[in-house]
Amino acid sequence: MAPRAGKGGGAGRKPHDRSTSNRPGILFVFMVVMLVLVAGRLTWMQVVQAKALSATAGQQRLRDLTLPARRGSIFDREGQPLAVTTDAKTVYAVPAQVKDATATASSLAQVLGGDRRQYLARLQRNSSFVYIARKVDLPRAAALEKLGIEGIGFVDDSRRTYPSGHLAGQVLGFVGVDDVGLAGIEKQYDSALAGTDGRIVAERDPKGHLIPGSIVTAQDAVDGQDIYLTIDKDIQNKAELELAAAVKKFGAKGGSVVVLDPSNGEILAMASTPYLDPNSYGSASADSMRNKAITDTYEPGSTMKAMTAAAVIDKGLFTPDSMFRLPPTLRIGGRTIHEAHARGTVNYSLTQIVTKSSNIGAVKLGQALGKTALSDYMDRFRLSRKTGVDFPGEASGWRPPTSSWSASSMGNLPFGQGLSVTPLQLARSVSVIANGGTLVTPHFLSRQGSVPATFPASPVPVITKATAIATTRMLTDVVRDGTGTGAAVSQYEVAGKTGTAQKARPDGVGYMKGVYVASFIGFLPASAPRVLILVTIDSPKSGLFGGTVAAPAFAHLARFCVDHLKIAPAPSVGPISTKRTASSQVGNEAASGKR
């Protein structure tokens, strides 16, 4: 039987579909390629990029936090706080978690103060963390936290505060937002006050919160040390009050006060106007930030005569009762020297030259010394030289090099023109006379923690003790019946010297007409000084002379000091020997023009 057509016969079979038959092979090849790629990628990630990826994962999972050290406090000599660290909060935001940025910004401005628009700009940043406010006081931080705003967080912090406001503001200085000392004592002793920050590394959840028990690394912070200054808070306050009153009374541009113990250089008070409140230093003027007693210089004027007189006595040229014939004016080096008050020819003793503050007499003393000796004694007294005080930014004074002195230099340097000093430099120089002839180092630090401060223990000899006593006796006459009677303190013998110095022009050429610095420097009790005070009043509009402008402020402050420190009156310095040496007589003849 013939087979049926189309069934089983070759003539009726459909052609073979190659594309369909190759699909399994193509799929297999594709899968092999993909497996190779995945294996290669895994190998690349697990071998080549393993360290980098592990670090990235760690950064996403771990949080590295700084544990700030608590800054040490600053106290006065009696343990009264001048600068302290108080608890505070830092407010931050996680912008992605803030639901309503506009409303949140308004709430921040209402509680913290500040500009709502600035808060809004921070909340809209493309960042996982932004600071909102640093060092917020606890009451305001608590008020904000009570609102429960999502996306706003708080971190424990601390803030520097100055309990007495502007008291000793320029001395203390201030710290920046990161608690780094930027000025004054805060800067000088920053390394001791700052301490050492700690560190903690721990895991966090997706919302940024630390996971309890997940600490990887922890290092405790080491708090800063407390320091104690030589400053006496009560004397500092009185100094600021008296200085402000004098500046206001005489319409002055400003002024400064230095109070120190001349026996050891301890600074009991230092003030400059305008005052600075370190709590709000960001809005303070540049002028108020300067501690002018250390950073600003001026010509000392007649206060310099105390050192000139001490030099001629120490050199053996004259005694306090040596006599000088002084003309009304003196022509020297092309200049005519005048007295502050016109007079005729007079015969003055060395003591009278000092007590009456004679410019011509001081020039005679300088001529008797000669250029070399005068320069040598200025160096001994460290006039125009840095004191080495423990305070940043101390200025150097200026004095012309001895090699460049001209005849006119001898006509102004002996009475305090043609050189410049800082108030502290002058105070240190006069302390040589007060303490019996030695140079001390002014300083602020009393102790650091429990360790007493160490400054040069062996004062440098400058003049003999006999010279210091003789000069002190002359300076008591200045206050008793000379130009400084306004500095007298009842029941106490005061030694001091007035100064009325012309102010140099800003360009350094000549002097400003009718513009002066009035000053008075003195110490008491004269025979056993415990306190030395310098008052300088810059550019008084009414009044002019140191004896009328600065001396009364000295007297008020000195009276407070002896009462506060319980300093008893001391015996008089005693009479000065009137015996003249041969060299003093020769010097007298030279000074009076006899040779």
CATH code (residue 167)? 3.90.1310.10
pLDDT for position 577: 46
Q: Which among 141, 170, 194 is the end of a domain?
A: 194
What is the dihedral sign for C-alpha 565, 523, 82, 186? negative
pLDDT for position 17: 57
Nearest Cα to Cα of residue 432 among 463, 458, 456: 463
Instruction: Kindly list the distances between the CA atom of residue 116 and the CA atoms of 91, 101, 259, 316, 457, in Å, as whole numbers in the listed order.
Output: 15, 10, 48, 76, 58
Same domain (yes/no): 162, 252: no
How many whole angstroms separate alpha carbon 220 and alpha carbon 66? 10
Q: Which among 141, 163, 194 is the end of a domain?
A: 194
pLDDT for position 537: 98
How many whole angstroms separate alpha carbon 248 and alpha carbon 396? 29
pLDDT for position 50: 63
pLDDT for position 20: 60
Same domain (yes/no): 436, 323: yes
Instruction: Kindly list the distances between the CA atom of residue 434 and the CA atoms of 2, 321, 495, 522, 524, in Å, as whole numbers in the listed order.
Output: 150, 20, 9, 9, 9
Same domain (yes/no): 519, 424: yes
Burial state string for 476-496 with b = 16 or more CB within 10 A and e = fewer than 16: bbbbeebbbebbbbeebbbbb
Find all residues with CB under 8 Å of 14, minimum gap 6, and list them.
none
Same domain (yes/no): 539, 428: yes
Same domain (yes/no): 307, 391: yes
Q: Does residue 30 lie in a domain region?
A: no
> By residue range, what is the domain housing residue 342?
233-275+290-447+457-591
3-state secondary structure of 103: helix
496, 521 Cβ separation under 8 angstroms: yes
Same domain (yes/no): 418, 312: yes
pLDDT for position 407: 84
Q: Which of 164, 256, 272, 302 is catalytic?
A: 302
Q: Does residue 378 lie in a domain region?
A: yes
Full-model pTM: 0.82
Same domain (yes/no): 152, 262: no
How many whole angstroms separate alpha carbon 72 and alpha carbon 67? 15
Per-residue pLDDT tens listing for the chain (595 residues): 444 544 444 445 555 555 566 777 777 777 877 777 777 677 766 666 666 656 555 555 556 667 778 899 999 999 999 999 998 888 999 888 898 999 999 999 999 988 889 999 999 888 878 889 888 989 999 999 899 998 898 888 888 999 999 999 999 999 998 889 999 999 999 999 999 888 766 665 555 555 555 555 677 889 999 999 999 999 999 999 999 999 999 999 999 999 999 999 999 999 999 999 999 998 999 999 999 999 999 999 999 999 999 999 999 999 999 999 999 999 998 889 999 889 999 999 999 999 999 999 999 999 999 999 999 999 999 999 999 999 999 999 999 999 999 888 999 999 999 999 999 999 999 999 999 999 999 999 999 998 999 887 678 899 999 999 999 999 999 999 999 999 999 999 999 999 999 998 887 778 898 899 999 999 999 999 999 999 999 999 988 899 999 999 999 999 999 999 999 999 998 765 434 333 333 333 333 333 3
Instruction: Kindly list the distances between the CA atom of residue 407 and the CA atoms of 449, 554, 583, in Å, as whole numbers in the listed order.
Output: 54, 36, 24
Q: Does residue 19 lie in a domain region?
A: no
pLDDT for position 221: 82
Same domain (yes/no): 184, 257: no
Same domain (yes/no): 383, 510: yes
Q: How many domains would you assign to the chain?
A: 2
Same domain (yes/no): 303, 423: yes
302 is known as an active-site residue: yes
pLDDT for position 371: 95
Half-sphere exposure of 335 toward its Cβ, with a 13 Å CA cutoff?
A: 15
pLDDT for position 585: 38
Q: Does residue 190 lie in a domain region?
A: yes
Nearest Cα to Cα of residue 360 among 334, 331, 320, 383: 331
